Structure 1
Amino acid sequence: MSSSNKQKIVESVPQTGFFGHPKGLFTLFFTEFWERFSYYGMKAILVYYMYYEVSKGGLGIEEGTALAIVSIYGSLVYMSGVIGGWLADRVFGTSKAVFYGGIFIMFGHIALAFPGNFSMFIVSMVLIVIGTGLLKPNVSTVVGEMYSQEDTRRDSAFSIFYMGINLGGFLSPLVVGSLQKNYGFHWGFAAAAIGMFLGLVVFMVSKRSTLGLAGTYVPNPLTAAEKKKYGWMTAVVVIVLAIILGWTIPAGIFTLNVFINIVGIFGVVVPLAYFLIMYYSPKTSVQERSQVIAYIPLFIAAVMFWSIQEQGATILATYADKKTQLDLFGFEISPAWFQSLNPLFILLLAPVFAWLWVKLGNRQPIIPRKFSWGLIFAGLSFLVILIPGYFTPDGGLVNPIWLVLSYFIVVIGELLLSPVGLSATTKLAPQAFSAQTMSLWFLAPAAAQALNAQLVRFYSPATENVYFGTIGGVSIVLGLILFLIGPKIQTYMKGIK
């Protein structure tokens, strides 16, 4: 997108009206609130739905397999953002991508609401993967489009936007977890579908008056020849995949383990390919190439961070269900409620961080060092889980305060890394790859969860201490290295702070 078009977008957006920010931030705040309500509500009970016995309303899948499936599902959700970003950049723009994505997500949750149906479970996963890939990276891109590059409100805006994400994430496990506990899994999934429907309503009703031209431009539209070429390529890929799967699945060649390994490979190959494409593209300027190089270590740090953070919905969710005391003062809590801790702490701390960055202004830490502290806190959150093992007898249940503390520590790291990463991505993105670079940012948790699908195989009660200690220690070491090389990385950003 040209600089003149960027300026036209900024000028078209009402620049005040929502806590000193553009009115459009209100629209995107509540759109993302309801989308995250639906996503995190579903995710809070998904692993339980898979490994609970059929008599308890689950699918009866083996626990280790269920943990791997959730990780792979999470990886594909974020990986699909590459396609969503490409479609937004080259076909229909970010605003339409957000709307189409919401439609797919809503129908995905509706499919999950059919009781005890494994086929509908697969259908729902496919729909939600496609929908989130369209919506998630592009709604964040629209936020960035409302601000000029020099606007000091940008980091603060992403912190406020992040509060919308986490307000939905806080409420949904409480609502969905309670519905699942009292009425069954599928009432919980139905509530997630309603949440996405409300998000679509908010977006469609208010976007015209608040977003101006934001999300309407197609930065790098396809030519007529490219449309024909990519149409044929898509058709060929679909036909070939159908033939391969139609042969390998019945023959027992294409198994779940094979699929997990393939996704793991894609988790590395796809972001690597994107970095190479952006760097060597003739549409990328010399300055933008330098910024792409600076982005690489930030991406690697994000993969390590999200590998730990995303295990809150797998390993720590299982820990909450099976190793944590859930009967408190005569009241039995749902293990899904622990999924509300992460967004709750973000809601409490995000305003503090938003105020802090504005207060510090040009005196705030450089971006790489914010990332380094994020890694260190992520590592500490896993090391904390080691402590109750020394005070709890074998087979005993752990006081829930340890899980609370672990979630609290990782949130500090998240606020140092995630909203800052969103903002940095919009600043460092080459103009021809604006939405796709945001998709690349979401490939970090995709790669992390592809990695987690392999790591969860090593988790068991017997290996628990080694598991948490090793992963936590590696994160802290990487954080210290990033802190030391941070100033060098900053020079490659060419003035971006």
Structure 2
Amino acid sequence: MSQLSKKEIVESVPQKGFFGHPKGLFSLFFTEFWERFSYYGMRAILVFYMYYEVSKGGLGIDQGTALAIVSLYGSLVYMSGVIGGWLADRVFGTSRSVFFGGIFIMLGHIVLSFPGGLGMLFFSMALIVIGTGLLKPNVSSMVGDIYPAGDNRQDAGFSIFYMGINLGSFIAPLTAGTIGTEYNFHLGFSVAAFGMFLGLVMFVVTKKKNLGLAGTYVANPLSPAEKKKTIKIVGIAVIILAILVAIAIPTGYLTLNSFTALVGILGFAIPAAYFIVMYRSPKTTSDEKSRVLAYIPLFLAAVMFWSIAEQGSTILALYADKRTNLDFLGIHISPAWFQSLNPLFIIIFAPVFAWLWVKLGDRQPSIPHKFSLGLLFAGISFIVILLPGVLSGTDALVSPIWLALSIFTLVLGELCISPVGLSATTKLAPAAFTAQTMSLWFLSNAAAQALNAQLVKLYSADTEMLYFGIIGGVAIVLSIVVFFISPIISRYMKGVH
């Protein structure tokens, strides 16, 4: 199946049937909808579950430690996409990778559905990390598969797909989040498990009719000699890693701080290695090498953006719980509900942005200019949440409107970067590294959250204004830099717009 051409794949997919898009978008839309429901259902209550007192059903972990662990978990979730992308490109193909990933994710949430201590939590996290690495980059790659080369619908298709992601993300905090914080954390986690089960059913039932040959091929299959070598290397690596862990934990070398530092290094070292491998590969053409170079500044801009965006489930979740007046207009607001605002705003405005890009056609901003706008809005969002501290100090509870306004501003930036970044990745990816380049895109989020694991330690009531001001200011400065170098980036993209 590895010899399938792009034309053969596209012809096997019904090209009309889902809002004017290929019918396969329906299957991928709802598979990702339920996967994101399960992921964000867990994320909506994870930090609260960790630092709430045992008497309230939590684990009673130190607040700062809980924030760092959530960031580390998020980093590892996206970092695992490297392995998932490699397995899809070299072993399974994207379709089977999506299915296997869903199984692991569902099992991870099932483990959390039962009471247990830190051991159970870390085991469930490990399962979800593996599963998301297999599913997340590959379901997005399949979206790129179902469109003909040069199809103007593709950017709009990714925006619709992104809206599906956010429909699941919107419902999750309102259901699993409310059940978890108001009734029982483990019941909330079980709701997340059921969501992933529904996603698996949707994918299996509809893929043959809607997706045709998409995802069924292996882009760069291992030769028999490579398979033998790979198995040997992986086996040796696992044994060495097990020995190192067995020695490091009892001797005190492997602690949360040392592990955080290690993940921080890997968060940037792994993507750097990927850029080098793709650029130097003999399977990468000269035009593709140029596009790899163009992708580097976009990747770094995405890291800065996601560093701010992913603090919605850590710093801003804490801000919602501790700094926000949760009794508003006669309604008591659950702190988990604020995590529904980001996807709600995206659901409302994603169709507007999708329509805008299609309407503008060739007159729309270039990909680098869209990234610059996204960074600008992200920086402003932190300046917005800084203002209540300036106006009334860091001791008084603030109106939830401030938090909502900050999240709304961030969403404007997200719609300029996230769906556009997914689409740009499929366009700029070397042919031999399609799924792995999508994994590289998600590594921008992994690097961002690895960075956040260090940054969140600096946040406190005393440092609140300085924290938001510096990070927001850096994002704004970087947005200006990206804007001015956009013509250079565009030249290296070799005709990709």
**Is TM more than 0.5 here?**
yes
What SS does structure 1 have at the residue aligned with 2:93?
A: helix
1:38 paired residue number: 38
What is the CA distance between 1:252 and its match in structure 2? 1.4
Counterparts of 1:485 and 1:181, CA distance in 2 = 46
1:321 paired residue number: 321
Q: What residue identity is the alignment partner of 1:241?
A: L
Q: What residue identity is the alignment partner of 1:453?
A: A
Is structure 2 residue 89 aligned with structure 1 residue 86? Answer: no
Q: What residue identity is the alignment partner of 1:465?
A: M
Counterparts of 2:89 and 2:394, CA distance in 1 = 55
1:445 paired residue number: 445
What is the CA distance between 1:394 and its match in structure 2? 5.0
What is the CA distance between 1:2 and its match in structure 2? 8.1
> Residue by residue, what CA displacement relative to the aligned partner does 1:366-388 show, whole Å, maximum 9, x if unpaired?
11000000000000000001111
What SS does structure 2 have at the residue aligned with 1:391?
A: helix
Q: What residue identity is the alignment partner of 2:427?
A: K
What is the CA distance between 1:6 and its match in structure 2? 1.1
- Are 1:58 and 1:116, in contact at CA under 8 Å, matched by a contact in 2? no
> Residue by residue, what CA displacement relative to the aligned partner does 1:202-241 show, whole Å, maximum 9, x if unpaired?
0000000000000001000000011111101111111111
What is the CA distance between 1:331 and its match in structure 2? 2.8
What is the CA distance between 1:116 and its match in structure 2? 3.6
- Are 2:4 and 2:217, in contact at CA under 8 Å, matched by a contact in 1? no
What is the CA distance between 1:320 and its match in structure 2? 0.3
Counterparts of 1:371 and 1:123, CA distance in 2 = 36
5 Å-filtered alignment, 1:305-320, equals 305-320=305-320
TM-score normalised according to structure 2 size: 0.99
5 Å-filtered alignment, 1:146-225, equals 146-225=146-225
Counterparts of 2:330 and 2:181, CA distance in 1 = 16
Counterparts of 2:259 and 2:321, CA distance in 1 = 27
> Residue by residue, what CA displacement relative to the aligned partner does 1:350-373 show, whole Å, maximum 9, x if unpaired?
000000011011110111000000
Q: What residue identity is the alignment partner of 2:103?
A: I
What is the CA distance between 1:180 and its match in structure 2? 1.5
Is structure 2 residue 100 aligned with structure 1 residue 100? Answer: yes
- Are 2:81 and 2:136, in contact at CA under 8 Å, matched by a contact in 1? yes
- Are 1:275 and 1:292, in contact at CA under 8 Å, matched by a contact in 2? yes
Counterparts of 1:421 and 1:34, CA distance in 2 = 22
- Are 1:108 and 1:127, in contact at CA under 8 Å, matched by a contact in 2? yes
- Are 2:28 and 2:139, in contact at CA under 8 Å, matched by a contact in 1? yes
1:240 paired residue number: 240
Task: Report how many aligned residue pairs link the two structures.
Answer: 497
2:463 paired residue number: 463
What SS does structure 2 have at the residue aligned with 1:115?
A: coil
What is the Cα-based RMSD across aligned positions, in Å?
Answer: 1.1
Counterparts of 1:228 and 1:159, CA distance in 2 = 41
2:364 paired residue number: 364
What is the CA distance between 1:5 and its match in structure 2? 1.2
> Residue by residue, what CA displacement relative to the aligned partner does 1:405-458 show, whole Å, maximum 9, x if unpaired?
000000000000110000000000000000000000000000000000111111
TM-score normalised according to structure 1 size: 0.99
Counterparts of 1:380 and 1:338, CA distance in 2 = 19
Q: What residue identity is the alignment partner of 1:386?
A: L
- Are 2:390 and 2:465, in contact at CA under 8 Å, matched by a contact in 1? no
Q: What residue identity is the alignment partner of 1:199?
A: G
> Residue by residue, what CA displacement relative to the aligned partner does 1:70-126 show, whole Å, maximum 9, x if unpaired?
001000000000000000000010000000000000000001111243221111000
- Are 2:394 and 2:461, in contact at CA under 8 Å, matched by a contact in 1? no
What SS does structure 2 have at the residue aligned with 1:103?
A: helix
- CA separation of 1:254 and 1:17: change in aligned 2, threshold 3 A: same
> Residue by residue, what CA displacement relative to the aligned partner does 1:298-350 show, whole Å, maximum 9, x if unpaired?
00000000000000110000000000001123432110000000000000000
What SS does structure 1 have at the residue aligned with 2:392?
A: coil
Q: Gaps (5+ residues) in structure 2?
A: none
